[in-house]
Amino acid sequence: MKKILIIKLSSLGDIFMALPHMEAILAHYPNDRVTLLTTPSFVDLFLRHPRLETLVLDRSKWFSPNSTLGRMAWIKNQAFDVVFDLQGNRISRLLVRTSRAPLRVGKKGGSVYNCHPVADDENRHVFERLTSFVAAAGIKTVPLHCTLYPSTSDVERVVKWKLDHGILDGRYVVFHAGSSAEWPSKRWPANNFAKLALLFEQTGWQCIWIGGKADEGLNHSLAARAGIDATGKFNTMQLYLLGQTAGLAVTNDSGPMHILSAAGIPVFSFFGPTNWFKHHAAGQKERVIYYPVDCGPCYKKVCPPKKGHICLHAIQPKSVFLKIHQDLGDLKLRPTAPMAE
């Protein structure tokens, strides 16, 4: 039995982007021991996985077994046969070097990795880059989606919440109008989100606003105009479950975009300051909504006032609704009232 280590530490969107590659690695080593090393924020996603042993690296600690130094010593003693570095940062490279594994898979050659793509184009989509990493190790097929293993309490919480709010499976839209607090420039205007939700309500769809504490005020004001405020109601696994029975989702470029896409539903996402070609949710390329501008992608966290945030402000609710209607015509999105801007 071989011993395989996968390193994937962060972030939320990238964790979900890498889930199919983890499944591909497991399929490639069906009778071997596979361990995932991740950070405390994400370990709950894998605790009930039937094959993946999950351990924590806590970078906030200095001398515990879960600290970077502790995990370096542990990795050295484990004598792994293969290490897949799906993270590619300074810490993960240090861990790979410590492992001394005969096969060390990563993004480029040198003293750290002895198995890597011929060339690593950082301008490619994240999913495609990770696919090239595992392909270098002989793993040629990576599924687009993945399977998570929720607890019974997670399932029951989502089912109860939907029953309490009269939510009908397949006839609701999940909206995420927020973004990381550090990236206000990623947000499509809240007023436009509200108008889009009203258009969906006119067709008989239910609208649900999701997000964390940072989205609390925003979602409260949006739900006052249309839909149901579900801020803080679901953890990551529960949001994945909520997404599985939704008809579709509409989001900004954010972690929930990737979670909802992993749930296997259509996800329409707004991109402004970041490069949609590199960062869109896997399998959702045709559902990206953006307005081409000369100044983008700028990767500025706050748009300069003179630019007027045109990359997102120029996108109108009616055009978004029509795009969704065109893409998902089989769901019979037919407005029953005039569509106002």
**Count of alpha carbons within 13 angstroms of residue 142, beta-carbon side:** 23
Query: pTM of this prediction?
Result: 0.92
Residue of 318, 317, 310, 250 lying closest to 284 (CA atoms)? 250
The β-bridge partners of 172 are 206
In a shared domain, residues 102 and 222: no
If asked whether residues 87 and 50 sit together in one domain, one would say yes
pLDDT at 335 over 50: no
Residues 222 and 122 in one domain: no
Q: What whole-number distance in Å separates Cα of residue 206 and Cα of residue 167?
A: 7
Q: Please give the Cα distance from 252 to 272 (Å, whole number).
A: 9
Query: What is the per-residue pLDDT for 9?
Result: 96
pLDDT at residue number 21: 97
The answer on 293 and 159 residing in a single domain is: yes
Q: Are residues 166 and 212 in the same domain?
A: yes
Q: What is the mean pLDDT of residues 23-39?
A: 97
Residue 166: half-sphere exposure toward Cβ, Cα within 13 Å: 4
Greater confidence (192 vs 122) lies with: 192
Tell me the HSE value of 254 on the side-chain side, using a 13 A CA sphere.
30
- Domain membership of residue 341 (yes or no) is no
Phi–psi pair at 180, nearest 5 degrees: -55, 140
Distance CA 99, CA 220 (A): 49
Q: Is residue 209 within 8 Å of 229, Cβ to Cβ?
A: yes
* Closest-CA residue to 75 (of 42, 107, 104, 52): 104
Round to whole Å and give the CA distance between 254 and 235: 15
List the 3-7 sheet strands across, edge first. Answer: 52-56, 33-38, 3-7, 82-85, 103-105
Residue at 210 is within a domain: yes
Q: Is the pLDDT of residue 146 over 90?
A: no
For residue 341, pLDDT over 60 is answered with no
Same domain, 232 and 314: yes
Distance in angstroms (rounded) separating the CA atoms of residues 115 and 4? 14
- Determine which helix (DSSP H) or strand (DSSP E) holds 198, and give its type and residue range: helix 190-202
* Domain termination site, one of 80, 104, 136: 136
Six-digit token string for 123: 């301008």
338 domain residue, yes or no: no
Query: For residue 23, is it within any domain?
Result: yes
Q: What is the DSSP-derived secondary structure letter of residue 301?
A: S
In a domain, 101, yes or no: yes
Boundary-marking domain end, from 75, 108, 136:
136
Question: Do 31 and 116 belong to one domain?
Answer: yes
**What CATH number does residue 11 fall under?**
3.40.50.2000
Q: What is the mean pLDDT of the chain?
A: 93
Q: Are residues 247 and 163 part of one domain?
A: yes
Query: Considering the domain boundaries, does residue 145 fall inside one?
Result: no
pLDDT at 330: 53
| Predicted local confidence at residue 298, as pLDDT | 96
pLDDT > 80? residue 339: no
**Of the residues 136, 169, 190, which one is the last residue of a structural domain?**
136
Q: Which residue has the higher pLDDT, 144 or 135?
A: 135
- Number of structural domains in the chain: 2
Residues 249 and 123 in one domain: no
**Confidence at residue 108, expressed as pLDDT on a 0 to 100 scale:** 83
* Lowest mean pLDDT segment, chosen from 140-149, 163-172, 304-313: 140-149
Q: How far apart are CA 225 and CA 232, in angstroms?
A: 19
- The residue range of the domain holding 305 is 152-331
d(CA 299, CA 253): 12
The answer to whether position 193 is within a domain reads yes
The whole-number average pLDDT for the span 184-195 is: 97
- What is the average pLDDT across 313-335? 82
pLDDT, residue 332, reads: 57
CB 96 within 8 A of CB 133: no
Q: Summarize the confidence of residues 110-121 as an average pLDDT.
A: 88
Q: Are residues 102 and 194 in the same domain?
A: no
Q: Are residues 114 and 249 in the same domain?
A: no
Please enumerate in sequence order all residues whose Cβ is within 8 A of that of 70, keeping only pairs 6 or more positions apart, or say none.
Answer: 61, 63, 64
> How would you classify the pairing of strands 288-290 and 267-271?
parallel
Same-domain status, 104 and 173: no
pLDDT tens-digit profile of 273-321? Answer: 999 999 999 999 999 999 999 999 999 999 999 999 999 999 999 999 9
